Amino acid sequence: MASPLEYRVPTAPVGGRVWYPRAASSAPDARPRGRWSTDLPTLGNGERPRRLLNVAVSAVGLVLAAPVMALIALLIKLTSPGPVLYQQTRVGIDLRRLGDAGGNGRRQTDHGGRPFTIHKFRTMAPSSGEAQVWATPDDPRVTPLGRILRKYRLDELPQLVNVLRGDMNLVGPRPEQLRIFAELRERIPGYQTRQRVRPGITGWAQINHHYDNSLDDVRTKVALDLDYVARHSALEDLRIMLQTVPVVLFKRGAW
């Protein structure tokens, strides 16, 4: 089976360093063993107020968006056969202690974080399945309605439920598919460090860079994600939430 990255990413391994804001140090190994040599903060960095903010905004957003979500669900049923929601397994937060990040005896496979099921409005033909590949701007699998939903990112609305369940925050690095995550972890130093916070619907990388078109795009987003991980807080999340609004309204970076 072809690699999910072969469609966009060169097969040659990637070396070098990852930019770490506020600290001039080498990136940790992609799959660390023992303790991580990094000063990046983890869950103790004001996590409670940040989590409360994300849950509160998501709960209000879910109530306000309920009529729109009901309309979208109806339109999906009327315009395309198949389920309304699309579900897929993604890699979530890594709750292990830094010293145990190499794995433990209870886990058969090191996914890099806690796998969870993400929910989205279905934007592709139902026969597309769950192939773990990156989408493309002119992806033939996308339905006409799905193209509109993606353009305005309305397909992400069901993920507000993921936020309330604790799988995600409203703000954080985007969660990746298991197979693609495993390959990127091997190719990009420091990629694993993104998992020290909950993944998000929007984030610092999402509002500052377009969708991934190449491995260089992934590197840029990883640098932005690590910048966010280094300084994440409730105030920072609120700022990113506010900056997300014009990104969505003016479709910057959306297909």
Amino acid at 131: A
| Of 49 and 254, the one with more pLDDT | 49
Tokens 């139902």 correspond to what residue? 126
pLDDT given for residue 14 in this prediction: 34
Give Cα 102 to chain centroid, integer Å: 22
Span 97-115, pLDDT tens digits: 655 555 544 556 788 999 9
End-to-end alpha carbon distance in the chain: 27
Cα–Cα distance measured from residue 127 to residue 129, given in angstroms and rounded to the nearest whole number: 5
Span 4-58, pLDDT tens digits: 444 343 333 333 333 333 333 333 333 333 333 334 444 555 789 999 999 999 9
Exposed / middle / buried, residue 237 (Cβ in 10 Å: 0-12, 13-18, 19+): buried
pLDDT given for residue 128 in this prediction: 52
Cα–Cα distance measured from residue 134 to residue 8, given in angstroms and rounded to the nearest whole number: 8
Of 13-17, 33-37, 150-154, 163-167, highest mean pLDDT: 163-167
pLDDT band at 131 (very low <50, low <70, confident <90, very high): low
- pLDDT over 90 at 154, yes or no: yes
| Of 53 and 254, the one with more pLDDT | 53
pLDDT given for residue 88 in this prediction: 94
Measured at the CA of 221, the angle between CA 220 and CA 225, to 5 degrees, comes to 125
pLDDT given for residue 132 in this prediction: 56
Average pLDDT of the chain, as a whole number: 80
Span 183-209, pLDDT tens digits: 999 999 899 999 999 999 999 999 998
Tokens of 197: 């916070």
Tokens of 219: 């590197």
